[in-house]
Structure 1
Amino acid sequence: MGVSLVRIDYGLFGLNPPHTHPRSTEILTVLKGCLHVGFVTSNPENKHFDKVLNKGDVFVFPKGLVHYQYNNRTSNTVAIAALSSQNP
């Protein structure tokens, strides 16, 4: 059983573009600042879920779904993400 832990620093208007983790679920916690996050469900619905997170908020990105994070503020944001695989 492996787990990956990542610290992500988002600059002003920084973007982590849409991507997937085919082998893991991701749990993201905002440590500083504010972050707009979202993901898109699989076929046939392809529904978009998004939320604005503030310091201390947590969001789960389900395994294999396209997701993104965007710092839409004028200050830096820091988050930490845990992924349920050593090779997400």
Structure 2
Amino acid sequence: MELTNEFNLKEIEQVTRDYLSKLDLQKMIDDSSDKRDKIMFIEGPPTLNGEPHAGHLRGRVFKDLWYRFNTLNLKNVIFNAGWDTQGLPV
């Protein structure tokens, strides 16, 4: 894909979908499960302190990109949900 003056989101989505469908991501993930290079990741519980702002989104996006990056690099990423230690339901 080349840079143009127009931003065509539908075209970008289609090119991305075509690329990802050729990768066979599930096979990559399954094949990586026997690798010795394992990474454990614990995601904290979803919380919202104060008024919603970009910082709430930023933390989630960085974690998601980190998880996807390492998975695509054939690392066995063990992803666990966190918990609330105050006894509050999540």
Shorter-chain TM-score range: under 0.3
Give the TM-score of the pair, scaled to structure 1. Answer: 0.26
More strand, by proportion? 1
Give the TM-score of the pair, scaled to structure 2. Answer: 0.26
More helix, by proportion? 2
Q: Which of the pair has the greater relative contact order for Cα pairs under 8 Å at 6+ separation? A: 1
